[in-house]
Amino acid sequence: MLWLFALIAGVLFGLYYGLAALGLNLIFGVMRMVNLAHGDVIMLGGFAAVLLFDHFGVNPLITVLLVIPPSLLVGYLTYYLLGRRVQRSRDPEMMSLVMFFGVSQVIEAVAVIAFGNNEASITSAVFGTRPFSIAGQGVPGAWLVSAGVGLVALVLLFLYLYRTSLGRATRAIMSSPDEARAVGVNPDRISALTFGIGVGLAAIAGILSLFMIGGTTPSEGVDLTVTAFAVIVLGGLGSPMGTFLGGIVFGLALMFTQTYAPVWSGFAPFAILLVIMLLRPTGLLGRTVRSV
Amino acid sequence: MLIPRTRTVGLAALSALLTVGLAACGAASTTASSGAPKDIVIGTLYSGSGSFANSSLPEFQGLKFWISQENAGGGVYVKAFNKKIPIKLVALNDQSSTTTATTEYEQLVTQDNINIFVPDFGSVLTLPAVTIAQEHHMLLFDQTATGSPLFTPGNQYIVLCDLPLSAIWPDPLAHFILAQHISRVAILYGANDFDATQAATVKSVLAQGGVTPVYYQAVPTATTSYGTLLHDIAATNPQAVLELGYASNDIPFLQAVQQGGYHFGMVATAFPGQEFTLIENAVGKAGLSYTYTYGVPPYIKFNNVSEGLGTNAFIAKFGHGNIANVSFENVAGYNTGLIIQAALGHATKFTQLGMRAALFALSGHFTTLDGAFKLNSEGGQVGELLPLAQLFPTATGNEIKIVYPSASADHAPVYPAP
Amino acid sequence: MVASPALQVSGLTRSFGGLPALAGVDLELRPGEVVGLLGPNGSGKTTLINVVSGVYRPTSGRVELLGHDATGQAPERLVRLGLNRTFQTPRPFRPLTVLENVQVALRHGRDAAQSPEEILELCGLGGQGGLPAESLNSSQQKRLDLARALATAPEVLLVDELAAGMRHDELDGAAELLRQLAAAGRALLVVEHLMGFVRQVTDRVVVLNAGTTIFAGSLEEASQDPHVVEVFLGA
């Protein structure tokens, strides 16, 4: 039953990919900025987990909670120091690419100085070495943990966006920022908070990436940003729920090609991205084609 | 290690271009015999940052160690002038970029007046140097780029110093599988020259023994999730699973074996021998126990050597007596120096082809801490063979022991893994 | 007794790339009155609303809101000071429900006495709160836009072409609503092309041409004013 395992693995990895891309899409949706340093934040999350585990024996699941306050703080500061200026420029999308490319380079260089160039990870034994049985297939516990954290993050984000007034204001800004201001929404406050949430989600994904993609290294940020970007384009720019759908399509494409044509597995998810872009330029759940 | 690795990287990252002059200034004798250069200039690149830095920097350290040793003794002996001449090092940081490396290789051979041309670590960064060396008639002292495509019959300007051609790496591994009468073998390899040539070698050696792999697949070099692949491999009921990749593949692969609770009689990966500390830190002790890998110096020991320090002496001097301070790349960089030393010390003419002729004359009669030096007609290394090593759990971690071939073994293999 | 003005605009100018869109506008709105803002296309009516509501900063001049200097303030700040506006082309938060649209405004504006459901009822959208905003037709979108503005409890409300696009049988209701708002003490500035609607709703009118005020007074007087007639009829 190779296909059944590929299906289960695809969905579980999809939830992880969705989580890894969620922050990027949220930030894009609210601020129309592309955070090219997103993958580097994922990388830093991974190193945070490794360091806390190596030196203090902190379980990575605890680290998931620990990274939230500093992420919010970093997000707030980044928005007020850098993001706001970019957003007020004539072409925030383009300017954000330039600026966050720089930020990405700086983070990578500093990470090399701080952590060295080595690949770092935590032994998978933390989440047990006995696979769980799902539909008769032995699935690694770490995958379930990662997918579970992804799901919890999705549900919490959903509740935040749809059940709280800040969340409603966030969606209002994503829909039309000028009108949101016209009803009194302070875009800076919402943007800074969103940036913090986006950074936090990326850092959490980084912790889980130790168990989903084996480890973390200072140079991996760019690749992760590319993957996350593919996922959000697949799911629809500005659509957080679409991001998870995009992640699952990405995960399924990866796992099915790994099963039936492994040598194409690096290419297939991007081929599917291309096909979906041709058929539906807005992505799976995207609303409108943006004029750039 | 002499300097903490992170510090080295940090300093290196601060300067894009670093020129290190290790010459013993002024003190050297100045009574020059006719035509002898003031110093021997070695030009090389290293990766101060980026994906190759963790291999490139320790290799660079090894080379610098050799230079400091020679200069401390008044320089390297050059037979063509029958005297010792101090060594000067010109080293540029390519930051793991092939584009930067190409420009800097050009600079070394056209502007820096180098006598000895040494490329950076590995096939990716060495490749641009191969054509530049050939065009400018400089002998390339290839350190660790082992892919067969680098070596062509028409090119006289390359010798492989520190590792055998990758096609022959898995020779002992494949023969071990046959010797253990393992008939169900799964092979997963990276879609690149380095890994594909190894996989092809294993397959052909196994075929000679009548064994056809039950699983034989290539995956992209960038692959980092192995769970589904392993599930598919397990479905073929293999006794031995070989994953031939880079360290960045071996780590997630070994993680996935643990995560999935898989138990195979034999698991072999390429890099735990070369990157032992790194991989053990990442996957944990249990993740490596009883797995197999290529045995490399300093775990294979050569103390009876014809040039330079033997393994134990090197560990004592470079690693302050602790083998944990010595990586394979340190040995490789130092060994590059020894090959240069041999070329200069035996060439009767101080020319690039003169050095090449000297090395071919030495081929098969020359041993260093990296093993027996032997070249094929294209300059590829066919000595310095990599025996098969297995990792055995100890109280604190794992230790690497050579288990095959029996002649060089220091431990009996444990198959199947408990 | 004449109440002090809720909104006082004096000498307001705004240029785009050197071209003046507003070239010195004076305007006064008192609590409880509805003022019509008239003028041919391109005379600066919408620009005036955009500058007063903070979408654009004025090039010069002064805006005073309920006794505070409100010149060049950001829209979200003006909302909290008690000014809001509707849009000529309404853009509701499309993915949000009708009710959520009003809730966002209610939460971030000034404290409104009414519940979001009451505001929707008032604007003729009763019972439609659960619909996604993108399912509304253009007339309903205008009502939602107005509801959203009302949810921020403005003292001064700028209404940009509310009647345009409404069916004839809806116009009376809309006019009635605007009168009610004024009767509750709000000051309204209404941009409108439909003269019948203007007559029904406004107490007096201000006429703009080429970015300047050319007339202020009753609609009757305006229709007699030669300058205004010339501007409108192009005679």
Burial state string for B280-305 with b = 16 or more CB within 10 A and e = fewer than 16: bbbbbbebbbbbbbbbbbbbbbbeeb
Overall CATH class of domain A2-122+139-279: mainly alpha
Q: Are residues C72 and C97 in the same domain?
A: no
Instruction: Indicate the domain borders of chain A.
Output: 2-122+139-279
Q: Which domains does chain B have, with CATH numbers?
A: 5-165+300-373 (3.40.50.2300), 167-299+386-408 (3.40.50.2300)
The number of C-beta contacts closer than 8 angstroms across A and C is 78
State chain B's maximal CA–CA distance in angstroms: 73
Q: Are residues C74 and C176 in the same domain?
A: yes
State the pLDDT at residue B99: 94
For tokens 């399924």, the residue is: A252
Asked if A114's CB is within 8 angstroms of B261's CB, the reply is no
- In this complex, the residue of B9, B218, B232 whose CB is nearest that of residue A2 is B232
Interface test with A, best of B11, B54, B231, B262 (most A CBs within 10 A): B231
State the pLDDT at residue A89: 84
Asked if the C-beta of A93 comes within 8 angstroms of chain B's C-beta atoms, the answer is: no
Q: Are residues C219 and C104 in the same domain?
A: no
State the pLDDT at residue B160: 96
Choose one of C153, C180, C196: the last residue of a domain.
Answer: C153
Residues B3, B266: Cα–Cα separation, whole Å: 37
State the pLDDT at residue B34: 58
Q: Do chains C and B touch (3 or more CB pairs under 8 A)?
A: no
* Digitized pLDDT (tens) for each residue of chain C, 235 residues in all: 456 889 999 999 999 888 889 998 999 999 999 999 999 888 999 999 999 999 999 999 999 999 899 999 999 999 999 999 999 888 899 889 999 999 999 888 777 778 999 999 999 898 899 999 989 998 899 999 999 999 999 999 999 988 887 888 888 889 999 999 999 999 999 998 888 899 999 999 999 998 999 999 999 899 899 888 888 876 4
State the pLDDT at residue B21: 38
Per-residue pLDDT band for A87 (boundaries 50, 70, 90) equals confident
State the pLDDT at residue B324: 85
What is the nearest CA distance from A220 to chain B, expressed in angstroms? 9
Q: Are residues C5 and C108 in the same domain?
A: no
State the pLDDT at residue A136: 85
Residue B26 has pLDDT above 90, yes or no: no
CA angle B258/B249/B222 to nearest 5° reads: 130
- Please list, in sequence order, all residues whose beta carbon lies within 8 angstroms of the beta carbon of residue C153, skipping any fewer than 6 positions away: C82, C109, C110, C111, C112, C113
- In this complex, the residue of C54, C95, C149 whose CB is nearest that of residue A171 is C95
Return residues 103-142 of A near B (CB < 8 Å).
108-109, 112-125, 127, 129-131, 137-138, 140-142
The number of C-beta contacts closer than 8 angstroms across A and B is 152
Residues A103, A86: Cα–Cα separation, whole Å: 13
Q: CATH number, domain at C35?
A: 3.40.50.300
What is the nearest CA distance from C84 to chain A, expressed in angstroms? 7
State the pLDDT at residue A111: 92
State the pLDDT at residue B179: 96
Q: Are residues C129 and C112 in the same domain?
A: yes
| Domain total of chain C | 2
Here the ipTM equals 0.87
What is the nearest CA distance from A158 to chain B, expressed in angstroms? 28
Asked if A183's CB is within 8 angstroms of C104's CB, the reply is yes
Give the DSSP letter string of C118-169: HHHHHTT-TT-TTSBGGGS-HHHHHHHHHHHHHTT--SEEEEESSSTT--HH
State the pLDDT at residue B264: 96
Return residues 155-184 of A near B (CB < 8 Å).
none
Q: What is the mean pLDDT of residues A53-79?
A: 95
- In this complex, the residue of A121, A265, A267 whose CB is nearest that of residue B255 is A121
Q: Copy the structure tokens of residue C139.
A: 């007339």
Asked if A211's CB is within 8 angstroms of B10's CB, the reply is no
Residues A5, A138: Cα–Cα separation, whole Å: 8
- In this complex, the residue of C76, C103, C110 whose CB is nearest that of residue A181 is C76
Q: Do chains A and C touch (3 or more CB pairs under 8 A)?
A: yes
Q: Are residues C62 and C173 in the same domain?
A: yes
- Please list, in sequence order, all residues whose beta carbon lies within 8 angstroms of the beta carbon of residue C127, skipping any fewer than 6 positions away: none
Tell how far CA A45 is from the center of its chain.
11
Give the domain range for residue C116.
Answer: 90-153
Residue B12 has pLDDT above 60, yes or no: no
Interface of A with C (CB under 8 A): 165, 168-169, 171-172, 174-176, 178-187, 287
Chain A residues in contact with B96 (beta carbon < 8 A): 219
Chain C residues in contact with A165 (beta carbon < 8 A): 103-104, 107-108
B296 close to B213: Cβ distance less than 8 angstroms = no
* Chain A contact partners (≥3 CB pairs within 8 A): B, C
Reported as type and span, the H/E element at residue B294 is strand B292-294
Can the peptide bond before residue B298 be classed as cis, meaning omega within 30 degrees of 0?
Answer: yes
A239 close to A287: Cβ distance less than 8 angstroms = yes
What rounded mean pLDDT belongs to chain B? Answer: 89
Q: Are residues C18 and C100 in the same domain?
A: no
Encode B359-388 in three state secondary structure.
Answer: HHHHCCCEEECCEEECECCCCCECCCCCCE
Burial state string for A33-56 with b = 16 or more CB within 10 A and e = fewer than 16: bbbbbbbbbbbbbbbbbbebbeee
- In this complex, the residue of B191, B225, B282 whose CB is nearest that of residue A263 is B191
Asked if A109's CB is within 8 angstroms of B49's CB, the reply is yes
- In this complex, the residue of A171, A172, A183 whose CB is nearest that of residue C109 is A183
Q: What is the mean pLDDT of residues A162-182?
A: 90
Q: Copy the structure tokens of residue A117.
A: 């160039």
State the pLDDT at residue C234: 65
Residue B29 has pLDDT above 60, yes or no: no
- In this complex, the residue of C74, C85, C100 whose CB is nearest that of residue A168 is C100
Residue B90 has pLDDT above 80, yes or no: yes
Question: What distance, in Å, lies between the first and last C-alpha atoms of chain C?
Answer: 40
Q: Are residues C104 and C196 in the same domain?
A: no
Asked if A178's CB is within 8 angstroms of C76's CB, the reply is no
Per-residue pLDDT band for B391 (boundaries 50, 70, 90) equals very high
Q: Are residues C33 and C107 in the same domain?
A: no
Residues B223, B243: Cα–Cα separation, whole Å: 12
Reported as type and span, the H/E element at residue A53 is helix A38-56
For the stretch A192-205, pLDDT in tens is 999 999 999 999 99
